[in-house]
Structure 1
Amino acid sequence: MFRSRPGRGRAVAITLLAAASLMLTLSGCGVDPLTPQEARAEAGTGDKVGGEAGGAARRVDCAKVKCIALTFDAGPGEDTPHLLDVLKEKQVPATFFLLGSKHVDRYPEVVRRIADEGHEVANHTWSHRILTDLDESEVREELSRTQDAIEKITGRKPTLMRPPQGRTDGTVADVSRELGLAQVLWSITAKDYSTTDSALIRQRVLENAHRDGIILLHDIYDGTVPAVPSIIDELKRRGFTFVTVPELLAPGKAEPGEVYRPEKD
Structure 2
Amino acid sequence: MLTSTIATGLTLLVAGASALPAPNPVELIRRAPNPGIVITKCTKPGVIALAYDDGPYTYTSTLIDILDKADAKGTFFWTGTLYGCIYKQQSAVEKAFKSGHQIASHSWTHGHMGGMSAANIRTEMTKVEDALVNMVGIKPAYMRPPYLETSGQFLPVMKELNYKVITNDVDSGDWNNQSPQQSQSVFTRAGASGNGHIPLMHETYAGTVNTLTPWLINWAKTNNLKMVTVADCLGDTPENMYKPGNFTRKTGPYNC
With the length of structure 1 as denominator, give the TM-score of the two structures. Answer: 0.69
The partner residue of 2:154 within 172, 176, 182 is 172
The partner residue of 1:218 within 177, 199, 202 is 202
User: Which amino acid in structure 2 is aligned with residue 95 of structure 1?
Assistant: T
What displacement does 1:167 show? Answer: 0.8
In structure 2, the partner of 1:13 is none
In structure 2, the partner of 1:26 is none
What displacement does 1:214 show? Answer: 0.4
Compared CA separation, residues 234 and 77, structure 1 to 2 (3 A): same
Q: Contact between 1:92 and 1:243, CA under 8 Å: does it hold in 2?
A: yes
Q: Contact between 2:54 and 2:79, CA under 8 Å: does it hold in 1?
A: yes
> For 2:134 and 2:105, how far apart are their aligned partners in 1?
14
With the length of structure 2 as denominator, give the TM-score of the two structures. Answer: 0.72
Q: Does 1:71 align with 2:51?
A: yes
Larger radius of gyration: 2
SS in 2 for 1:186: coil
> For 1:194 and 1:64, how far apart are their aligned partners in 2?
29
Deviation digits for residues 172-216 of structure 1, max 9, x if unmatched? 122212322111111011110122622222222332244321011
In structure 2, the partner of 1:15 is none
Stretches of structure 1 lacking an aligned partner (at least 5 in a row): 1-43, 56-61, 257-265
User: Which amino acid in structure 1 is aligned with residue 123 of structure 2?
Assistant: E
Q: Contact between 1:87 and 1:93, CA under 8 Å: does it hold in 2?
A: yes
SS in 2 for 1:168: coil
Q: Contact between 1:193 and 1:218, CA under 8 Å: does it hold in 2?
A: yes
Question: Which ranges of 4 or more aligned residues in structure 1 deviate by more than 6 Å?
Answer: none
SS in 1 for 2:205: coil
Q: In the TM superposition, what are the counterparts of 1:107-126 in structure 2 within 5 Å?
A: 107-126=89-108
Report how many residues are paired: 204
In structure 2, the partner of 1:241 is 226
What displacement does 1:221 show? Answer: 1.4
Q: Does 1:85 align with 2:65?
A: yes
Q: Contact between 1:206 and 1:231, CA under 8 Å: does it hold in 2?
A: no
In structure 2, the partner of 1:32 is none
Q: Does 1:203 align with 2:197?
A: no
In structure 1, the partner of 2:118 is 136
Compared CA separation, residues 223 and 243, structure 1 to 2 (3 A): same
Same amino acid, percent of matched pairs: 27
SS in 2 for 1:204: helix
Q: Contact between 1:122 and 1:158, CA under 8 Å: does it hold in 2?
A: yes
In structure 2, the partner of 1:45 is 26
Q: Does 1:97 align with 2:77?
A: yes
In structure 2, the partner of 1:182 is 164
User: Which amino acid in structure 2 is aligned with residue 111 of structure 1?
Assistant: V
- For the aligned residue pairs, the C-alpha RMSD in angstroms reads 2.8
Deviation digits for residues 53-90 of structure 1, max 9, x if unmatched? 969xxxxxx87751111100000111111111100100
